[in-house]
């Protein structure tokens, strides 16, 4: 399952995402991964959550990012949830067509590996592709 937190930059998406990940860590039996563009929120995350700083890896395209994500899942079959802060930035997405293709790929990964993705997307709900609108859990 893919869930989206949408809203313009500065509307509180990261705070909502951090609250959700820290709440979910108490409810899941498996592992949780939090992917971000830096380590700024490291101390706001529960110590059971694995933080991945994308700046530590030489990724510079959407395809490379999705391959990296598949690699993360392949190394630990216990991962139940993956939180992606600044999703458009870390995945090198700009166009709605690219966003739609990435969400389609994430849906396939969800089906194959029983993992949930929660994405923070810096766009208003009305500006997202149709396939994304039904996945929005909160629009700020």
Q: What structural domains does the chain harbor?
A: 2-139 (3.40.50.300)
pTM for this predicted structure:
0.94
- What's residue 16's pLDDT? 95
- How many residues are listed for the chain in this entry? 140
- What's residue 103's pLDDT? 95
3-state SS class at 32: strand
3-state SS class at 98: helix
pLDDT tens-digit profile of 65-84?
999 999 999 999 899 999 99
Q: What stretch of H or E contains 23?
A: helix 13-24
Contact by Cβ (8 Å): 65, 52: no
Provide CB contacts within 8 A for 53, sequence distance 6+.
Answer: 36, 37, 38, 39
Question: How many angstroms separate the CA atoms of 66 and 91, rounded?
Answer: 8
The residue-averaged pLDDT of 91-107 equals 95
Classify the C-alpha dihedral 54-94-110-137 as positive or negative: positive
For 4, phi then psi, to 5°, come to -125, 135
- What's residue 79's pLDDT? 96
- What's residue 49's pLDDT? 96
């Amino acid at each position: 399952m893919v869930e989206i937190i949408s809203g313009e930059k500065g509307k509180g998406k990261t705070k909502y995402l951090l609250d959700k990940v820290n709440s979910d860590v108490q409810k899941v039996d498996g592992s949780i991964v939090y992917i971000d563009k830096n380590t700024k929120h490291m101390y706001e995350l529960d110590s059971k959550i694995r933080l991945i700083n994308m700046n530590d890896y030489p990724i510079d395209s959407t395809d490379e990012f999705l391959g990296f994500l598949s690699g993360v899942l392949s190394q630990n079959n216990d991962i139940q949830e993956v939180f992606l802060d600044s999703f458009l930035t870390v995945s090198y997405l700009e166009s709605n067509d690219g966003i739609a293709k990435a969400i389609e790929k994430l849906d396939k990964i969800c089906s194959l590996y029983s993992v949930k993705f929660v994405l923070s997307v810096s766009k208003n709900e009305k500006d997202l592709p149709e396939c994304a609108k039904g996945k929005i859990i909160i629009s700020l």
